[in-house]
Amino acid sequence: MEPPPSGQDNHHAPPPGQHHKNVPCDSDIIVQDRRWHAAVPRLEMQVRRAITLSAWMTHRPYHPTVLLTNDRAVKTLNALYRGRNKPTNVLTFEASGPFGDGDIALAFETIRREASSSDKSFTAHMLHLLVHGILHLAGHDHLYAGEARRMEQAEARILARLGVANPWRVSERGWR
């Protein structure tokens, strides 16, 4: 199955767990903190699946390097590249040369804390933030209401294909 031409809605994405033959995931996944393996079953497979599906559904073959690290490392990167001396859940860096498709860094403790406080599974929240980072690399942003809504809708569509509930939908218990 070929992806639809750019600009068309994609209702025929490959089933979860299957990859499009023309969109292999050749991303580097660097697990710098061993807690990631304990927290996320089949970690590398889930990360590669999210990258592949995101690339296919956005019609952009981005295969970023993904760094799964901790708050301390992300705080250092955030201070060095963003001038903010604090950890954050995800940092996305666009490619700066002819090689590579950008980098995404995820902070274990911040993601764990956010998932717990919002009653989400760690895996679901990590996948949401990974997709969020990939969408930034694909040109999405959330500075203004309209573009934020479009980005949220794209996240929800991709996450649905990954079997993750819409993080923007309100439930009886609050935000999902």
Compute CA distances 21 → 3, 24, 53, 61, 63, whole Å: 11, 6, 12, 12, 15
Query: What type of residue sits at position 73?
Result: A
Neighbours of 58 (CB within 10 A): 22
**pLDDT, position 172:** 43
Q: Give residue-wise pLDDT tens across range 5-60.
A: 333 333 334 444 444 444 457 789 999 999 999 999 999 999 999 999 998 888 88
Averaged over 68-78, what is the pLDDT?
98
Long-range contacts of 94-103 (CB under 8 A, 24+ apart): 94/137, 95/137, 100/64, 100/65, 101/27, 101/61, 101/62, 101/63, 101/64, 101/65, 101/137, 102/62, 102/64, 102/65, 102/137, 103/64, 103/65, 103/66, 103/67
Contacts (Cβ under 8 Å, ≥6 apart) of 28: 65, 66
11 is in an annotated binding site: no
Tell me the pairing of strands 90-93 and 29-31.
Answer: unpaired
pLDDT at 91 over 60: yes
Q: How far apart are CA 89 and CA 130, in angstroms?
A: 10
142 is in an annotated binding site: yes
Q: Give residue-wise pLDDT tens across range 94-140.
A: 987 776 789 999 999 999 999 999 999 999 999 999 999 999 988 88
Q: Give residue-wise pLDDT tens across range 148-173.
A: 889 899 999 999 999 999 998 855 44
Nearest residue to 104 via CA among 78, 134, 83, 76? 134
Q: How far apart are CA 153 and CA 135, in angstroms?
A: 11
Question: 0.85 exceeded by the pTM?
Answer: no
Domains and their CATH numbers in the chain: 29-164 (3.40.390.30)
Q: Residue 33, Cα to own-chain centre: how many angstroms?
A: 18
128 is in an annotated binding site: no
